Amino acid sequence: MPIKKDGTGKRWVEMEFLVPGTPDEVWQAMATGAGNTAWFTRAAIEERVGGELRFEFGPGMSSSGQVTMWEPPHQFGYVEREWNGDAPPVVTEIVIAGRAGGQCVVRMVHSLFSSSDDWDDQLEGFEGGWPGFFAVLRIYLGQFAGSKGASFQAMTSTEGEHLAIWSRLIEGLSLAGANIGEQRSSPGPDSLSGTIEQVQQDRKVRSVLMRLEKPAPGVALVGTYGTAQAINVSMSLFFYGEDAESVAAASETRWRAWLGETFPGKA
C-alpha cells in the first residue's frame, strides 16, 4: 500500500493480518522479548511504559528504543530514535483484537514525521519486509505457542543483478522451483529439511519459507531484498523446544560463514 501522509508531516504505513491464537497468546509473541525472538529476531523488552527495548539483527546490527504504550493484551507501542542514522524517530503501534474461531486480527503501523520524502523508501521497506516474518509468526502461534524459542539472522550485502543473486541463493540451497506443500532437503553447513510453506517473489523481495523437521523443529526463512545500493541476502532460522538454544548456537557461525563465502561483500 502507498505511504499515507497528513498535513502535520506525519507519514506512515499500516498492515493488518490474521493470526491463530488468543489475544494473550498473540500479546506474548509480539510484546515480549522471548516472544519476538521466537518469530522475528532476538529481542529484549522491559514490559512497561518507558521500558527499554532492543532488537538484535546480528553483529553490529541492532536497534534500540523505548516502550510508549503498554496495555496488555491489546495495545503495544514503541519508538526507535536511532534506527537509521540521522532519520527521524520511527514509532510502531500494534493493536491486537480477538476474533471468533481462536484467531486475532493484528494491526501494525509504522510512522514518522518529516517535511520531505527522504525516508519514504525506508517506510516502504518496513511494509515489504514484514510478510515473511508474519508467516513465521503464524506457524509459531499455530504449532509452537508457548514453546521455548531461539533464533538468529545471518545477513550480507552484495552487488549484482537481483535475479542472479536470488538464483545463486536458492540453487545453493536446493530450493529452486520450490512449491508450497513440497518436502525439500537443503544442503549447506547444516542440512535443513521440511515442508515449503510460502514462496514470495516481487521486484524488491524474494523469499522461501520452510517449516523445519531437521535439524530441529522450527522455521527457515531465506530471501533477498533489493535496494538502490545493493542486494541484501538473509537467512533467518528459528528453532523450538528444550534444545532450541543449543541448536541455534551450533548453526549460527556456520551459516554466517557460508553466506560470506557464497556472496562476496559489497565493494
Name the residue among 68, 70, 88 with its Cα closest to residue 79: 68
- Mapping DSSP onto H, E and C, the string for 71-140 reads ECCCEEEEEECCCCCCCCCEEEEEEEEEECCCEEEEEEEEEEECCCCCCHHHHHHHHHHHHHHHHHHHHH
Q: Which CATH superfamily is domain 149-262 in?
A: START domain (3.30.530.20)
- Answer for the pair 222, 234: CB distance below 8 angstroms, yes or no: yes
Kindly report the backbone phi and psi dihedral angles of residue 249, in degrees, each rounded to the nearest multiple of 5, phi listed first. Answer: -60, -40
By three-state DSSP, how is residue 70 classified?
A: strand
Helix (H) or strand (E) holding 25: helix 23-31
Name the residue among 113, 107, 105 with its Cα closest to residue 93: 107
Domains 4-144 and 149-262 share a fold: yes
- Tell me the C-alpha distance between 237 and 118, whole Å: 32
- Please give the chain's pLDDT, 267 residues, in tens: 678 888 888 889 999 999 999 999 999 999 999 999 999 999 999 999 999 999 999 888 899 999 999 999 999 999 998 877 777 899 999 999 999 999 999 999 999 888 777 777 777 777 778 999 999 999 999 999 989 999 999 999 999 999 999 999 999 999 999 999 999 999 888 889 999 999 999 888 999 999 999 999 999 999 999 887 899 999 999 999 999 999 999 999 999 999 999 998 654
Contacts of 67 (CB under 8 A, 6+ apart): 45, 46, 47, 48, 49, 50, 51, 52, 53, 76, 77, 78
pLDDT of residue 267: 44
Indicate the CATH number for domain 4-144: 3.30.530.20
Q: Domain-by-domain residue ranges, the chain?
A: 4-144, 149-262
pLDDT of residue 266: 56
- Tell me the C-alpha distance between 74 and 23, whole Å: 7
Output DSSP code: residue 179: -
